[in-house]
């Protein structure tokens, strides 16, 4: 692990640089697949599913019979755990509902704001070595609460052409309306353009590798919205001597095992704690099934010592972590002062894993510094805010002259006339 002591602010940017991978011509590859899916639909999807996933799938839509068969293979223990997590996620996201906001801005001018669900949403759920059925909960639950009419889920099939049973169980439990055995760029392209089998959606959600990330960004060029730009997982922990080194190490490793390009950082005002955490990491990593992956991420990790909490907070806000854990005597200072973080975890008994699975908050969060300007997924992510207004005769008289003056000053005569005609009609009617 890389130890850094008292880094100067001018070096922070370089020290905190994300270990993002570069792939030659990745954008060109994504554009080529998009073009082919747009033109050939399911035929192109099948071609790239065979090429990238090594699976030949006769029917990419998951049938009811397949869902029922998969559900039967999920253990009761896992079903109960998923149900508990769903209950907490539902409770937290239901609480995010807001009432209609209505105000009379001036006599006779009534304005109000209401939320409307996005009618068609697409959820991308990674498969592979870590099938993220938990992400189904994080995306499908708020989509269902928001009232989205169509909730389309895409997830890559295994070599036998099947989706992980836990993903199917969670999807069925959470109101997903269509499940498709499609992953990668071709899944994002399918939801962007629509194919014979894959519905076109209005907004795409979900994490993925760099190919999926670039594909989502390209989708925005074709009128499809996305939840946020996202990349490899990341975690920053601030800790002092009140922290438990074993707990801190376990949290660092929980993110490191996501992938070799995950980033984990410890910022501390205690050199003693840093040393203890480093020792604990080496002990705990030996028992991990995903040790090889975690080791690569830990090799790029940072242990940063700073002199005081103010410097630590400034550094944290400069970084803008996806996940931010506070294990400090001064947790109020950090929780009140943090401006840039996707999700914040406070105290020795609040592991990041809680937010990943079952506490109720959403784990689909901005990475790569986007916490400075993006929110994590929440109920509002699945809705649009619409404004309404109704103006009475008295109302148009109250604001009409101001509109005429402003429109005239901007040189927009038709805008002015739209008001002038109404005002004259009112005058003549008297």
Q: Which of 280, 322, 352, 363 is catalytic?
A: 322
For 194, the 3-state DSSP assignment is coil
Contact 397, 385 (CB under 8 A): no
Residue 93 is among the residues annotated as catalytic for this protein: no
161-166: Cβ within 8 A, 24+ apart: 161/55, 161/56, 161/57, 161/58, 162/66, 162/70, 163/62, 163/70, 163/127, 163/131, 164/127, 164/131, 164/133, 165/70, 165/71, 165/73, 165/74, 166/74, 166/78, 166/82, 166/131, 166/133
What are the beta bridge partners of residue 305?
5, 268
In whole angstroms, what separates CA 239 from the centre of its chain? 26
Q: Which of 323, 352, 393, 404 is catalytic?
A: 323
Q: Confirm or deny that 356 is annotated as ligand binding.
A: yes
Q: Confirm or deny that 410 is annotated as ligand binding.
A: yes
Cα distance from N-terminal residue to C-terminal residue, the chain: 83
Query: What sign has the CA pseudo-torsion 257, 261, 262, 265?
Result: positive
Report the residue count for the chain. Answer: 430
Residue 36 is among the residues annotated as catalytic for this protein: no
Q: Confirm or deny that 134 is annotated as ligand binding.
A: no
Q: Confirm or deny that 93 is annotated as ligand binding.
A: no
Q: Confirm or deny that 415 is annotated as ligand binding.
A: yes
Q: Confirm or deny that 258 is annotated as ligand binding.
A: yes
**Residue spans of beta strands (DSSP E) within 257-309:** 263-268, 302-305
Q: Confirm or deny that 107 is annotated as ligand binding.
A: no
Q: Confirm or deny that 255 is annotated as ligand binding.
A: yes
Contact 229, 78 (CB under 8 A): no
Q: Confirm or deny that 363 is annotated as ligand binding.
A: no
Q: Please list the active-site residues.
A: 322-323
Binding-site residue positions: 124, 186, 209, 233, 255, 258, 323, 356, 410, 415
Binding-site residue positions for substrate: 233, 255, 258, 323, 356, 410, 415
Binding-site residue positions for Zn(2+): 255, 258, 356, 415
């Amino acid at each position: 692990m890389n130890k850094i002591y008292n880094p100067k602010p001018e070096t922070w940017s370089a020290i905190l640089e994300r270990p993002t991978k570069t792939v030659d011509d990745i954008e060109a590859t994504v554009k080529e697949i998009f073009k082919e899916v747009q033109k050939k639909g399911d035929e192109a999807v099948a071609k790239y599913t065979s090429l990238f996933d090594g699976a030949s799938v006769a029917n990419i839509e998951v049938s009811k019979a397949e869902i029922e068969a998969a559900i039967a293979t999920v253990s009761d223990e896992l079903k109960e755990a998923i149900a508990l997590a769903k209950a907490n996620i539902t409770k937290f996201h239901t609480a995010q509902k807001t009432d209609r906001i209505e105000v009379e801005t001036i006599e006779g001018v009534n304005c109000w704001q209401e939320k409307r669900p996005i009618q068609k949403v697409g959820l991308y759920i990674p498969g592979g070595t870590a099938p993220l059925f938990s992400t189904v909960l994080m995306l499908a639950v708020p989509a269902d609460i928001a009232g989205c009419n169509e909730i389309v889920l895409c997830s890559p099939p295994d070599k036998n052409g099947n989706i992980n049973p836990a993903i199917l169980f969670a999807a069925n439990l959470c109101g997903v309306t269509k499940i498709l055995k499609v992953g990668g760029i071709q899944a994002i392209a399918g939801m962007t353009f629509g194919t014979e089998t894959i519905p076109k959606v209005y907004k795409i959600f979900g994490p993925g590798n760099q190919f999926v990330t670039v594909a989502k960004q390209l989708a925005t060029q074709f009128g499809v919205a996305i939840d946020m730009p996202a990349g490899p997982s990341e975690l920053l922990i601030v800790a002092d001597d009140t922290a438990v080194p074993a707990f801190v190490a376990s949290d660092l490793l929980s993110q490191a095992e996501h992938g070799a390009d995950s980033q984990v950082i410890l910022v501390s005002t205690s050199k003693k704690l840093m040393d203890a955490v480093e020792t604990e990491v080496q002990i705990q990593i030996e028992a991990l099934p995903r040790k090889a992956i975690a080791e690569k991420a830990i090799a790029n990790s940072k242990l940063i010592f700073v002199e005081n909490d103010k410097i630590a907070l400034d550094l944290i806000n400069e970084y803008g972590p996806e996940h931010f854990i506070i294990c400090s005597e001064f947790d109020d200072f950090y929780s009140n002062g943090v401006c840039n973080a996707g999700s914040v975890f406070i105290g020795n008994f609040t592991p990041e894993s809680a937010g990943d699975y079952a506490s109720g908050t959403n784990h689909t969060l901005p990475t790569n510094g986007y916490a400075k300007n993006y929110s994590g997924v929440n109920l509002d992510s699945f809705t649009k805010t619409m404004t309404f207004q109704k103006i009475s005769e008295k109302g148009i008289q109250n604001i009409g002259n101001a509109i005429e003056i402003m429109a005239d000053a901007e040189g927009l005569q038709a805008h002015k006339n739209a008001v002038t005609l109404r005002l004259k009609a009112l005058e003549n009617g008297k």
